[in-house]
Amino acid sequence: METQIRDKIENLLLTGNKPEEEFLQPGDGPLDDYIRKINVLDAMSKELKTLAREAGTLLGRRVSFQTMDGQAHYVVTNVLKSKVVVQWVNYDEAYIDDRLGRCGTLDMNYIKPQIEWEDKLERARL
């Protein structure tokens, strides 16, 4: 399953780097391409989350950080013994966290509780 997750991470990163114009369709109004791209990335992230949960791993999980008036989005691309490696996903308004840049590491003690909290919050909404 790890190979499947890694392939989907690669697709997520490639899709995020595509310009919004590639999502244009005939008859689109203002921002339709942008909204379509966000919807595609959301679906890909949800699929990765499901696979990661099934595999019991943080690999493929998305984490977000507040930046200015938006969010910087990252995906876990590698799980080490006490850290995870995250890579930036060109999502929404393309904000980048100053601490991580386009790629960085986060301590497991920091990221694991954040992801567990997000999971609990999601279950509470259901």
Token code pair at residue 62: 């998305």
92 neighbors 71 (Cβ within 8 angstroms): yes
Contact 80, 59 (CB under 8 A): no
The pLDDT value given to residue 55: 95
**What tens digit of pLDDT does each residue of 20-31 get?**
888 888 888 878
Q: For the whole model, what pTM was predicted?
A: 0.90
Instruction: Read off the pLDDT of residues 87-117 as tens digits, 9 standing for 90 and up.
Output: 999 987 789 999 999 999 999 999 999 999 9
Other CB atoms within a 10 A radius of the CB of residue 54 amount to 10
Name the strand (E) or helix (H) holding 13.
helix 2-16
